[in-house]
Amino acid sequence: MIITYQGVESFKAQFGDTVLAFNPISKDSKFKNSRFFADVALITANHPDFNGAENLSYSGKEPFVISGPGEYEIKGVFIKGFATKSNYGGKERINTVYSVALEGMNLFFLGALGEPDVKEAKEAVDGIDVLFVPIGGNGVLEPSAAYKFAVSLEPKIIIPMHYGGDSDKNALKVFLKEAGAEETKHLDKLTLKKKDLESKEGEVVVIVASV
């Protein structure tokens, strides 16, 4: 699996010929968006910074869009969505946390989570391999609280997201300091196989935005 970052909370995860898009940025967002084809789009909250599924079509092919709680199976990928709360954009809204099982790995995507409470989701998941956690404040988790919460979920790898822009400009610096990971290398992409996770425990991985 290859994971790349497009900014804010937008990620592309590719394995074989299948592409997943998490929280693609809409053309109506003030943030720069990118276009690529995805088989599945997972949208956690109905906001232009996260709901840009229109940027994922190609040659008449449209992605399968998941935008709320429930259980789904598409192309051998098993997805569970759980409703949580967010105050992103200045108003309370539903934010769906997603658990995604593929290639023997469990991805856990917190989206625009505003409150550190995903008890129902955590209990429904058999271990978290890769956790995507928002750290920028202003409607999502603050960096220090985000790290403490991330560690409590006991993931193998922690990927911070949603920093810079209108978020706390120092959010990533604070998050890495909290994690004791100031010297962490910033990657252009994360290439991951199940065997790579065997010795990891709460390792922070920073992926540089490609746009």
Q: Strand, coil or helix: what is 122?
A: helix
Which residue type occupies 149? F
- Per-residue pLDDT tens listing for the chain (211 residues): 999 999 999 999 999 999 999 999 999 999 998 899 999 999 999 999 999 999 998 888 899 999 999 999 998 999 999 999 899 988 899 999 999 999 999 999 999 999 888 878 778 788 999 999 999 998 999 999 999 999 999 999 999 999 976 556 689 999 999 999 999 999 999 999 999 998 899 999 999 998 7
- pTM comes to 0.94
* Superfamily (CATH H level) for 2-207: Ribonuclease Z/Hydroxyacylglutathione hydrolase-like (3.60.15.10)
Count Cβ neighbours within 10 Å for each residue of 109-146 and write b for 16 or more, e otherwise: bbbbbbebebeebbeebeebbbbbbbbbbbbbbbbeeb
Rounded to whole angstroms, how far apart are CA atoms 165 and 186? 18
